[in-house]
Amino acid sequence: MQTSQEEQKSTNEELQSSNEELQSTNEELTTSKEEMQSLNEELHTVNAELQGKISESKRVNNDMNNLLNSSEIATLFLDKKLKISQYTFHATKIFKLIPSDIGRNFTDLANNLNYPEINSDAEEVLRTLMFKERTISTKNDLFYIIRIMPYRTIDDKIEGLVITFIDITESKLLEIQLLEIKKQYQELFSSMSEMFQVIELIYDSDGKAYDYYYRDVNPAFEKLVGKTRKQLIDKQAKNIFGIIEDYWLEIYDKVMKTGESVVFEKYGAELDKYYEVNTWKASESRLAIIFNDVTERKLSEKALLATQNIFQTFIHKVPSVIIGLTSDGKIIEFNPEAEKVFGRKRNDVIHRNYFDLFIPEGLREKVESDMKEILADALPNQFENLVKSATGDQLKIEWTAHKLFDQKGVLTGVITIGENITKL
């Protein structure tokens, strides 16, 4: 009995010890559970942060892709082995790229660039880390600026290359057109017989033009002034010629300020010549001027005017009838003696038909025909015919006819000198 009680007591103690161990284990499990909950919360927090960073990374990547595609700049990203790691949409217009080309060797790509050195240039940039830039054309007449640059990470590590292709076709074609226009301009500029110059006016503190620089001249202008281009360009006109008439400066200043072109004729005392001048505003600070030397024409006009004055004096003083006619019989000259003989004033007959006014009706057809024959040298230039005066009297006139020509030698009419032989 006593032995049984001792065994029961021992068992009870063991159970109590086990209970204490279980309680201790339970406490440890509770602590572990709390630690696990805390760790789980931390993992949730880290996961949320990672999700945010992944979303931000996707957004940044999308922004970058949209930026690259919207810029219309074709771009290739290559790794250190020159394999394609990424490309933009516009790159597919130069290289026939498809998504499966990612990881493909760049040197294997076919393209339509006139740039056989692109592979060696890419290798050189990767080796030297010095970027390269070239302007190249394509086989379908497009133009690009190509830049090959090292691909640097944020921590300044080189992870490959970035190659950009900037389409400059429109500007390049415009440049080609401008060069062609410039070439044509230079050819015209050099070959034109008219003198051409571009000048820049010089103003004093009051805003008055007092001189000008020569900014451009053509060979014809060099020949005119007897100076070479080197002696003229960027030199002041007064230092070359000593004097510039105020008239020229006033005209040039007016064109510069109003922007309205002007064409005029003027005598230039500097070179003792007459010019027909066409000047216009070429830019904000410069004038373009074309000089046409009309000295010979002006001197001819003066000589012609002097001759005309002498002729007018002669026909007004000579005691003979002088009548000038056009080819179709219009009166263009009628001197005082003609007024006296025919009884009509000059102003009353000028530009009227001679045959209707002064030839009797029955004789008109023949006299008019004879006049045409004389002009054609088919009849002698000396002849007689009957005319009628303002009073209706018929007069017999002995004529000598002289043909009239214009400056080009074209027959324009006849001048007739007559003597009244009615009373003889």
Contact (Cβ atoms closer than 8 angstroms) between residue 315 and residue 338: no
Q: Which residues are registered as beta bridge partners of 214?
A: 199, 233
Number of H-type helices and E-type strands within the chain: 12, 15
d(CA 423, CA 146) in angstroms, rounded, equals 105
Q: Give whichever of 51-60, 83-92, 128-137 has the largest mean pLDDT.
A: 128-137
Q: Go through 370-400 and write b for each residue having 16 or more CB atoms within 10 A of its CB, e for each that does not.
A: bbeebbeeeeeeebebebbeeeeeebebebe
Q: Which of 244-253, 299-308, 311-320, 360-369 has the lowest mean pLDDT?
A: 299-308
Q: Within 10 Å of residue 222's Cβ, how many Cβ atoms?
A: 17
The model's confidence at residue 121, banded by pLDDT at 50, 70 and 90, is very high
Q: What is the pLDDT of residues 21-40, one digit of tens each?
A: 777 777 777 887 887 888 88
d(CA 102, CA 85) in angstroms, rounded, equals 6
- What superfamily does domain 309-420 belong to in CATH? PAS domain (3.30.450.20)
Q: 248 is written with which tokens?
A: 């020229």
Contact (Cβ atoms closer than 8 angstroms) between residue 417 and residue 400: yes
d(CA 212, CA 237) in angstroms, rounded, equals 6
The model's confidence at residue 203, banded by pLDDT at 50, 70 and 90, is very high
**By three-state DSSP, how is residue 391 classified?**
coil
H-only helix segments in 283-324: 295-317
Q: Which of 201-215, 358-372, 410-424 has the lowest mean pLDDT?
A: 410-424
Domain ranges of the chain: 1-64, 71-171, 192-293, 309-420
Sequence-distant (≥ 6) Cβ neighbours of residue 370 within 8 angstroms: 379, 383, 385
**By three-state DSSP, how is residue 114 classified?**
coil
Q: Do domains 71-171 and 192-293 have the same CATH topology?
A: yes
Contact (Cβ atoms closer than 8 angstroms) between residue 383 and residue 374: yes
d(CA 387, CA 342) in angstroms, rounded, equals 9
**By three-state DSSP, how is residue 327 classified?**
coil
d(CA 329, CA 10) in angstroms, rounded, equals 168
- Indicate the DSSP class of residue 155: T
Contact (Cβ atoms closer than 8 angstroms) between residue 385 and residue 359: yes
Q: Which residues are registered as beta bridge partners of 138?
A: 113
Mean pLDDT of 401-411: 85
| Residue range 192-293, CATH number | 3.30.450.20
- What superfamily does domain 71-171 belong to in CATH? PAS domain (3.30.450.20)
Q: Which of 49-63, 68-82, 135-149, 223-237 has the lowest mean pLDDT?
A: 49-63
Question: Maximum Cα–Cα distance for the chain, whole Å?
Answer: 208
H-only helix segments in 156-294: 169-191, 219-225, 229-232, 237-241, 246-258
d(CA 97, CA 103) in angstroms, rounded, equals 12
The fraction of the chain above a pLDDT of 70, given in percent, is 92
Contact (Cβ atoms closer than 8 angstroms) between residue 349 and residue 335: no
Predicted local confidence at residue 91, as pLDDT: 85
**By three-state DSSP, how is residue 376 classified?**
coil
